[in-house]
Amino acid sequence: MQDNQEPKFDEKASGEDSKIDALISVIVLIVVTAIIVFWVSSQ
């Protein structure tokens, strides 16, 4: 029973992890872009 349940749980967890990773990647890109824009505009 446990062998059948673990892969399903892992698939759900990996799906959630990939969504979280994508969201974090987008946030990091926005923050880095904002920092660069601010740094360039303050020069």
Mean pLDDT taken over the chain = 82
The total number of residues written for the chain in this structure: 43
The DSSP-derived string for 1-42 is: -HHHHHHHHHHHHHHHHHHHHHHHHHHHHHHHHHHHHHHHHT
Residue 15 pLDDT class (50, 70, 90 cuts): confident
User: What pLDDT is stored for residue 42 in this prediction?
Assistant: 93
Residue 5 confidence (pLDDT):
54
pLDDT given for residue 25 in this prediction: 96
**What pTM was estimated for this model as a whole?**
0.62
Share of the chain above pLDDT 70, in %: 70
